Amino acid sequence: MPKLPAISAKAAIKALDQFGFKVYRQTGSHIHLWNRERNLVVTVPNHPELAKGTLISIMKQAKLERKEFIAALKE
């Protein structure tokens, strides 16, 4: 399994955008993204660096594999 990189919320949102997730609202420091096709909501805390557990939670919410997500980060 590939190791998770330390990334910011901005980088995570940019990667999720490639899978069809769009920002639809923000509550405090949490940004909510929605994928219309899959009808999924993902919440990303707006922090300069996301913890590994938070990244894993984001991937689970988006129903993405680790390899897919890391590949999207590199693009």
Let me know if residue 18 belongs to a domain.
Answer: yes
Mean pLDDT score of the chain, rounded to an integer? 95
Confidence at residue 2, expressed as pLDDT on a 0 to 100 scale: 75
51 domain-assigned: yes
Dihedrals phi, psi of 43, to nearest 5 degrees: -110, 125
The pTM of the full predicted model, rounded to 2 decimals, is 0.93
* Residue 67 pLDDT greater than 80, yes or no: yes
Q: How far apart are CA 40 and CA 58, in angstroms?
A: 11
Residue 3 forms part of a structural domain: no
CA separation for the pair 11, 7 (Å, rounded): 6
The CATH code of the domain that includes 22 is 3.30.920.30
Domains identified in the chain, total number: 1
- Over residues 8-38, the pLDDT tens digits come to 999 999 999 999 999 999 999 999 999 999 9
Question: Could you tell me the residue range of the domain that residue 52 belongs to?
Answer: 9-74
